């Protein structure tokens, strides 16, 4: 589904990704771990198409199509979803209005009619149940005055509504208490299918207790330096990152 080859990228002329390779197939869950400053969030933003991130070299392909020149909304239309580490507030725009607009804009891009209100309502009901979101929450202004947990839950709710092909969860576990973590992880697990893929970006093993990855990659200094299965995350949790750096030197 996603194929990144020898990707070099920079922001403000500062080189961040230095030849990154990653292949994610449908039905897989990949975790990307690594110390602060390794380039994890850059990777997420560059896949989503944030403009200040410059692709200097390499390719990003989604289902065989090079997406590195597409606008962020065009990437969204073909199924890229980013759960933001810090979701922004949009005062006066309700969660419902926002998701309705997003769904209909995506449909418009595909040449489809707007989703009938009845179907939309049914979908909202289903997905909000899945994430234990109550009706009142949906009428609140997007992310305004939301707790950390509410923000992240809302991100996953949007993901559930938009049904992306490739979902990138950028530190979705940060700011979550254990109950919220369980709800969010449970939501992600239920949305998983053989047709979509998930990339989980995290510092900690904690989230991976709930969302079990097929692959764990360690990102260090702009490159993936080690890949393993779920046990690698446990090893990292126990030993930290230094041993990987040492391994690299030797």
Partner 1 sequence: MSKYTEDDLREELETKEYEYGFYTDIESETFAKGLNEDVVRAISKKKNEPKWMTDWRLEAFRVWSKMEEPEWANVSYKKPEFQEIAYYSAPKQKPKLNSIDEVDPDLLATFEKLGISLEEQKRLANVAVDIVIDSVSVATTFKKTLGEKGIIFMPISEAIQEHPELVKKYLGTVVPTSDNFYAALNSAVFSDGSFCYIPKGVRCPMELSTYFRINEGGTGQFERTLVVADKGSFVSYLEGCTAPSRDENQLHAAVVELIALDDAEIKYSTVQNWYPGNSEGKGGVYNFVTKRGLCETNAKISWTQVETGSAITWKYPSCILKGNNSVGEFYSIAVTNNYQQADTGTKMIHLGKNTKSTIISKGISAGKSQNSYRGLVQINSRAENARNFSQCDSLLMGNKCGAHTFPYIEVKNKTAQVEHEATTSKIGEEQLFYCNQRGIDTEKAIALIVNGFSKEVLNKLPMEFAVEAQKLLEISLEGSVG
First to last CA, the chain: 34
Q: How many Cβ atoms from other residues are within 10 Å of residue 195's Cβ?
A: 11
Which of 162, 225, 230, 234 lies at the binding interface for partner 1 (CB under 8 A)? 162
User: Does 65 help bind partner 1 (rule: CB under 8 A)?
Assistant: no
Q: Are 94 and 141 in contact (CB under 8 A)?
A: yes
Task: Decide whether 26 or 93 has the Cβ nearer to partner 1.
Answer: 93
User: What are the CA-CA distances from residue 88 to residues 84, 132, 158, 201 (Å)?
Assistant: 9, 21, 14, 19
CB-based burial, 81-110: b 16+ in 10 Å, e otherwise: bbbbbebeeeeeebbbebbbeebeebeeee
User: Does 77 help bind partner 1 (rule: CB under 8 A)?
Assistant: yes
Phi and psi (nearest 5°) for 245?
-60, -45
DSSP alpha helix (H) spans, 131-229: 135-139, 148-162, 178-191
* Contact mark string toward partner 1, 182..221, x via CB under 8 A: ----------------------------------------
Q: Which stretch binds partner 1 (CB under 8 A): 12-20, 48-56, 116-124, 234-242?
A: 48-56
Q: Which of 195, 165, 194, 203 is nearest to 47 (CA)?
A: 165
Q: How far is the CB of 82 from partner 1 (least distance, A)?
A: 5
User: Does 8 help bind partner 1 (rule: CB under 8 A)?
Assistant: no
User: Does 82 help bind partner 1 (rule: CB under 8 A)?
Assistant: yes
Which of 26, 93, 115, 120 lies at the binding interface for partner 1 (CB under 8 A)? 93
User: Does 90 help bind partner 1 (rule: CB under 8 A)?
Assistant: yes
Task: Decide whether 87 or 228 has the Cβ nearer to partner 1.
Answer: 87
Task: Decide whether 54 or 214 has the Cβ nearer to partner 1.
Answer: 54
Q: Could you tell me the two tokens for 87?
A: 């979701």
Secondary structure class of 50 (helix, strand, coil): coil
User: Does 109 help bind partner 1 (rule: CB under 8 A)?
Assistant: yes
Contacts with partner 1 by CB under 8 A lie at: 48-51, 55, 68-73, 75-77, 80-82, 84, 87-88, 90-93, 97-98, 101-102, 105-106, 109, 141, 158, 162
């Amino acid at each position: 589904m996603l194929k990144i080859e020898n990707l070099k990228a920079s922001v403000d002329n500062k080189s961040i990704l230095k030849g990154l390779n990653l292949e994610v197939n449908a039905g897989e869950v990949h975790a990307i771990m690594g110390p602060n400053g390794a380039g994890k969030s850059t990777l997420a933003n560059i896949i989503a198409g944030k403009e200040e991130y410059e692709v200097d070299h390499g390719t990003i392909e989604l289902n065989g199509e090079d997406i590195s020149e597409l606008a962020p909304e065009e990437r969204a239309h073909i199924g890229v979803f980013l759960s933001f580490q810090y979701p922004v507030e949009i005062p006066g725009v309700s969660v419902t209005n926002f998701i309705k607009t997003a769904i209909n804009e995506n449909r418009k891009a595909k040449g489809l009619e707007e989703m009938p209100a009845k179907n939309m309502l049914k979908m909202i009901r289903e997905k909000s149940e899945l994430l234990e979101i109550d009706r009142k929450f949906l009428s609140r202004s997007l992310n305004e005055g939301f707790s950390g947990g509410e923000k992240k839950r809302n991100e996953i709710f949007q993901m559930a509504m938009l049904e992306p092909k490739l979902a990138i969860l950028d530190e979705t576990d940060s700011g979550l208490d254990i109950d919220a973590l369980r709800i969010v992880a449970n939501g992600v697990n239920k949305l998983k299918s053989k047709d979509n893929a998930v990339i989980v970006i995290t510092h900690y093993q904690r989230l991976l207790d709930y969302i079990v990855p097929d692959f764990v990659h360690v990102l260090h200094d702009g490159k993936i330096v080690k890949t393993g299965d779920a046990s690698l995350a446990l090893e990292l949790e126990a030993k930290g990152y230094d041993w990987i750096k040492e391994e690299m030197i030797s």
